[in-house]
Amino acid sequence: MAAVSPAARRARPATRHPVPALGGSNYNPANFVTMHAYVNSPVMRHIENQIRAAVESGQTIQYSVTPRYNGTDKIPTGVYMEAYGLDGFKFTQHRSTGITESGNTAFIPNQKRGG
């Protein structure tokens, strides 16, 4: 894992991908990336809650989160989220994205609220 300064860590807390409630590990450093707090909650949490509800209702969901980096930057420009289900699962994005249709993929930019 790349080193991040303490000031950058305070400005952008680490985000777990995937979150433990959806099968992720708190012990694998590869599951952590540095993101702005607003991206983690409520933007990503909005999608994760839909995935969790589908799993709790008995659906099988294939879920992944992949960070995107610009060149050699140590902090990602955002993350790609994907979730597919055997029963045709689709999620809606957080209202802040401006995207209103349901889908299986989303790019979540790593920026502050209103950024």
Q: Compute CA distances 18 → 81, 83, 110, whole Å.
A: 10, 11, 16
Could you list the pLDDT tens digit for every one of the 115 residues in the chain?
Answer: 344 444 444 444 555 555 666 667 777 777 788 888 888 888 888 898 999 999 999 999 998 889 999 999 999 999 999 999 989 999 998 888 777 788 999 999 998 887 6
For the entire predicted model, the pTM comes to 0.75
The strands making up 105-109's β-sheet, listed across from edge to edge, are 61-68, 78-85, 105-109
